[in-house]
Structure 1
């Protein structure tokens, strides 16, 4: 096991950009929403830079890009509802696991670590995605961006999960791809591990100064 896991009991993972490459499906949902609203259609690469703060912020960023100004509340509500409908209809059509995710989670689970999923994605999409990839049984606790009053970069979701599992933050690790994961982990007193391949608004994740930067998840179990 990687040295960062020494003395740890809980490993919390982000979902989008860390375990799964979900941008292709998110982009389709955004594009279909804009089509419904007769707005300019963004490219997948643009949507990638907007991911990370939950569906409402994703759509607000997309609308701001399309309008070249901040959208009003009525349009934000209509766009969010349309996005949720489109994404909910096919959240796994194009989404894929990143290499080594399945084997890494298997190894960590079998080694006795408690695994948790802490994502800013709406909670209703967690189970369909995990079940699709047969990952549900690995996680002792899952929490979405709308499960609590605050989401990452707030430390609240991480502290909530640690409390529910009766594990000290000092015995916990947050693994993610964005500055929000690292900020939440640091504020919660978790050790932080970053992967460089996900969605971080076009910024190198090392700028967030995680405790450890790994090239891929299998590095967690290969030492």
Structure 2
């Protein structure tokens, strides 16, 4: 799916000044087993209920137990992480173009640090803001992206949210940011069910690098 070659698509991102990346499935390849494993680990059987909201509804002792279970799953996923194709390419381009790099993830900080330390050269590894699930409310709410916009002193419309999930697209759209969906075999249905939330699509980060370069040419 090479929408980045479209002139219309390129125009949609013109004038962007900052990028906010999701992590799981965006900076690294999707691990589709991870989220079902988390839900199973905390005993959440309702597929419509958000796992963080569910954990927040538990007693303090139950919350601590549930979070430990989630962190065990996250650690296993961290060890198995593989970078999204084009990870170094897009971070190198953003660094040389002096475009602000940021992250908003519902994961913890440790997996992000592991990913960057393992696969990104130090000269391209600096991010302005890294928001994890400790920032409340997290995605799909607008709060994290509005916080980043305020810290960068930017209009949210000049920020691009790049992710692979409905939460990413909802957060981006509700904050007034532009959105790029990294399409894969697990999320392609979003283009039918929530096409209005997606401004552009790419297949991986190497395509994103080409798209962003075209938007600044």
SS state at 1:109 partner: helix
Give the aligned partner of residue 172 of structure 2: 185
- Does residue 194 (structure 1) correspond to residue 174 (structure 2)? The answer is no
Give the aligned partner of residue 221 of structure 1: 209
Give the TM-score of the pair, scaled to structure 2: 0.73
CA-CA distance at 1:22 after TM superposition: 5.8
Which of 128, 137, 145 is the aligned partner of 2:133? 145
Give the aligned partner of residue 162 of structure 1: 149
Task: Determine the C-alpha separation between the residues in 1 that align with 2:162 and 2:73.
Answer: 29
SS state at 2:94 partner: helix
Instruction: Call closer, same or farther: CA 1:98–1:119 in 2, change over 3 Å.
Output: same
SS state at 2:15 partner: coil
- Does residue 205 (structure 1) correspond to residue 205 (structure 2)? The answer is no
CA-CA distance at 1:76 after TM superposition: 5.8
Give the aligned partner of residue 28 of structure 1: none
Gaps of 5+ in 1: 25-43, 52-57
Gaps of 5+ in 2: 5-9, 46-53, 212-217
Please provide the CA RMSD for this pair.
3.0
Instruction: Call closer, same or farther: CA 1:213–1:98 in 2, change over 3 Å.
Output: same
Instruction: Call closer, same or farther: CA 1:124–1:212 in 2, change over 3 Å.
Output: same
Number of residue pairs matched? 188
- Does residue 119 (structure 1) correspond to residue 112 (structure 2)? The answer is no
Q: Does the CA contact (< 8 Å) of 2:87 and 2:205 recur in 1?
A: yes
Once the two structures are superposed, residues 47-69 of structure 1 have per-residue CA deviations (whole angstroms, 9 ceiling, x without a partner) of 45x38xxxxxx34676235xxxx
SS state at 2:172 partner: helix
Give the TM-score of the pair, scaled to structure 1: 0.71
Once the two structures are superposed, residues 107-156 of structure 1 have per-residue CA deviations (whole angstroms, 9 ceiling, x without a partner) of 1221121111111112343323322223672422111011x220000000
Give the aligned partner of residue 84 of structure 1: 71
